[in-house]
Amino acid sequence: MNVKNICCLGAGYVGGPTMAVIAQQCPHINVTVVDVNATRIAAWNDADLDKLPVFEPGLDNVVGEARGRNLFFSTDVDQAIDEADMIFISVNTPTKTYGKGKGMAADLKYIELCARQIASVSKTNKIVVEKSTLPVRTASAIKNILDHTGNGVEFQILSNPEFLAEGTAVDDLLAPDRVLIGGDTSDKGQEAIQALVDVYAHWVPKERILTTNVWSSELSKLTANAFLAQRVSSINSMSALCEKTGADVNEVAKAIGLDSRIGSKFLKSSVGFGGSCFQKDILNLVYIAKTYGLNEVADYWEQVIIMNDYQKNRFSNNIVSTLYNTVSGKKITFLGWAFKKDTNDTRESAAIQVADNLLNEQAHIAVYDPKVTEERIYADLDYLNTRAEEENRSLLNVKNDPYEACKDSHAIAVLTEWDEFKTYDWQAIYDNMLKPAFVFDGRGILDIKSLENIGFVCYSIGKGFNK
Ligand code: UDX
Ligand code: ADP
């Protein structure tokens, strides 16, 4: 089967870039990305490519090339479903904040709504592709809804998990390590798999396109993220030990990373991992394991999250104890709010927890992030519900200029590894700070020696203070 019309429900960090790349690589396929959020769609259609709702290096070029040719962004969900022969579901699946599985299970209400809408609108056979990260066996739930509420049309459900990392989404999509497609083992299931293989085969080498059954594909996504997050938590656990013993976490990471069985990636110690996937997917895994009575399996993976929370709290505790056990009324400047560099996404960013802890200690915080908006920062804090919204606005200020943000502060904390932080005029920053001027580098990116030469007192994650 030759796919001619693709639609994607959800124009977010995954759906937007993924569809843009498919459209760019397959000019003969019409790709329509729809979203219930009209503001988001308007931003995707903005003539000014700097205003796209998702910031990703290179995405403006891809969208600029394909948009209006065979890539469309729209709020007309029904029409897009009706016209498509393949429908991607890429809506959000946040962790449940209520009821059974609260704080752990994925909330599938948006997925279910999509399935019901697809069922009620479809007049022709469709291939439905789950792109959102979902707990194992969601495909069967989607199939159930489609088969029982549809108008007699046939649906094939595929699982095609997205492995792109934000900040490198375009490169990851153009040259993926692998594309995974899970489907039914029946003949029709295999035909559907082949249709999606053919789409990717336009730019991905065949040997990198893996096909499996649906459950393996769904579980592989959770497993990959759990393994990656575990590496970060493992090295972060060592960062605490390094600071106590005088070892340097970067040296340890380099030494173990050269072991080809271990490998060098995902060993960068940090103030804690964030992002939309790691925590959510591990919690999901923990919840699934518990559901099956596999308590030891659940505990094993939960420890990755516990270590991550510890790392964030350790960082803020260290700031408080270093500043003579009180930060009350002191100005602390955050460089970075995003969960990693080169993205404007802040979901689960370590900065949020660190800020919340310091605000509990009555610190005044100034934040500078090159891509995150003031609105987003306040929304992240308000979401925690720790204090009144007015209080968040009076205690935390967002600045558009890093030098302004650092002026008159007692300490600077680096929360995101943005490259530009390395190139600042640190002497000028030092001159305008209160003394002693502290820097807490939660990402290990700054040249500590030259900062110390200027006069800063520096802490770097996994190295501690230079004694
Ligand atoms: C992740 C997976 O990498 C991707 O395959 C999946 O599809 C979605 O989840 P993402 O969340 O975009 O992608 O970013 P990633 O680069 O994995 O980083 C996650 C977090 O871990 C970030 O906060 C990052 O700063 C942190 N991290 C990563 C470290 O602290 N140290 C490292 O060595 C690597
Ligand atoms: P991700 O990182 O997985 O892409 P996002 O939250 O960035 O997650 O994007 C998910 C998008 O899905 C949001 O823009 C949201 O408005 C959209 N969405 C949620 N429900 C629906 C729906 N029923 N139909 C279309 N879009 C939806």
Measured distance CA(84)–CA(7) in Å, rounded: 6
Q: Which ligand is nearest to the CA of 74?
A: 2
> What is residue 329's predicted lDDT score, i.e. its pLDDT?
98
> What is residue 132's predicted lDDT score, i.e. its pLDDT?
79
Which residue lies with its CA nearest to atom 34 of ligand 1? Answer: 266
- Does the CB atom of residue 268 touch ligand 1 within 6 A? yes
Measured distance CA(350)–CA(415) in Å, rounded: 7
At residue 165's C-alpha, the angle toward residues 55 and 258, to 5°, is 130
Measured distance CA(310)–CA(302) in Å, rounded: 12
Find out whether 335 and 414 touch, Cβ atoms under 8 Å.
yes
Which are the catalytic amino acids? 277
Q: Which ligand is nearest to the CA of 346?
A: 1
- Does the CB atom of residue 219 touch ligand 2 within 6 A? no
Shortest CA distance to 300 belongs to which of 238, 234, 250, 215? Answer: 234
What would the two tokens of residue 244 be? 């106590």
Measured distance CA(461)–CA(389) in Å, rounded: 31
Specify the 3-state DSSP secondary structure of 159: strand
Determine the angle formed by the axes of helices 350-360 and 295-322, rounding to 10 degrees.
50
| Bridge partner list, 106 | 95
Ligand 2 centre distance from Cα of residue 22 (Å): 18
Instruction: Give the residue, out of 230, 234, 270, 347, with the most ligand 1 atoms within 8 A of its beta carbon, to mutate for a pocket test.
Output: 270
Q: Say if strands 86-89 and 5-9 run parallel, antiparallel, or are unpaired.
A: parallel
Please report, to the nearest 10 degrees, the dihedral formed by the alpha carbons of residues 325, 241, 354, 172 taken in order: 160
Which residue lies with its CA nearest to atom 16 of ligand 2? Answer: 37
Cα–Cα separations (whole angstroms), residue 19 to 7, 67, 72, 385: 9, 11, 10, 35
Instruction: Give the residue, out of 109, 110, 130, 166, with the most ligand 2 atoms within 8 A of its beta carbon, to mutate for a pocket test.
Output: 110
Q: Dump pLDDT digits (tens) for 221-268.
A: 999 999 999 999 999 999 999 999 999 999 999 999 999 999 999 999
- Does the CB atom of residue 228 touch ligand 1 within 6 A? yes
> What is residue 93's predicted lDDT score, i.e. its pLDDT?
85
Which residue lies with its CA nearest to atom 19 of ligand 2? Answer: 91
Instruction: Give the residue, out of 277, 309, 445, with the most ligand 1 atoms within 8 A of its beta carbon, to mutate for a pocket test.
Output: 277
Atom of ligand 1 nearest to the CA of 162: 7
Which residue lies with its CA nearest to atom 2 of ligand 1? Answer: 165
Shortest CA distance to 461 belongs to which of 294, 202, 271? Answer: 271
Which residues, 6+ apart, have CB-to-CB distance to 12 below 8 Å? 35, 40, 54, 90, 91, 92
Q: Which ligand is nearest to the CA of 348?
A: 1
At residue 187's C-alpha, the angle toward residues 186 and 193, to 5°, is 90
> What is residue 397's predicted lDDT score, i.e. its pLDDT?
98
- Does the CB atom of residue 92 touch ligand 2 within 6 A? yes
How many other β-carbons are positioned within 10 Å of the β-carbon of residue 321? 11
Measured distance CA(333)–CA(346) in Å, rounded: 17
Q: Say if strands 331-335 and 209-213 run parallel, antiparallel, or are unpaired.
A: unpaired
Measured distance CA(308)–CA(303) in Å, rounded: 8
Measured distance CA(368)–CA(357) in Å, rounded: 18
Low-confidence ranges of the chain (pLDDT < 50): none
Atom of ligand 1 nearest to the CA of 339: 23
What would the two tokens of residue 278 be? 């790691």
How many other β-carbons are positioned within 10 Å of the β-carbon of residue 272? 29
> What is residue 467's predicted lDDT score, i.e. its pLDDT?
54
Which residues, 6+ apart, have CB-to-CB distance to 429 below 8 Å? 402, 403, 406, 412
**26-64 burial: b if 16+ Cβ within 10 Å, else e:** beebbbbbbbbeeebbebbeeeeeeebbbbbebbbebbe
- Does the CB atom of residue 165 touch ligand 2 within 6 A? no
Ligand 1 centre distance from Cα of residue 274 (Å): 7
Which residue lies with its CA nearest to atom 14 of ligand 2? Answer: 12
Atom of ligand 1 nearest to the CA of 224: 5
Summarize the chain as % helix, strand, coil (round to 5): 45, 15, 40
How many other β-carbons are positioned within 10 Å of the β-carbon of residue 420? 11
Ligand 2 centre distance from Cα of residue 130 (Å): 13
- Does the CB atom of residue 166 touch ligand 1 within 6 A? yes
Q: Dump pLDDT digits (tens) for 268-308.
A: 999 999 999 999 999 999 999 999 999 999 999 999 999 99
DSSP-H helix ranges across 323-425: 350-360, 374-384, 389-395, 402-406
> What is residue 413's predicted lDDT score, i.e. its pLDDT?
98
Residue numbering of the annotated binding site for NAD(+):
10-15, 35, 40, 91-95, 132-133, 166, 277-280, 347
**98-137 burial: b if 16+ Cβ within 10 Å, else e:** eeebeebbbbbebbeebbebbbebbeeebbbbbbbbbbbe
Instruction: Give the residue, out of 159, 170, 228, with the most ligand 1 atoms within 8 A of its beta carbon, to mutate for a pocket test.
Output: 228
Which residues, 6+ apart, have CB-to-CB distance to 144 below 8 Å? none
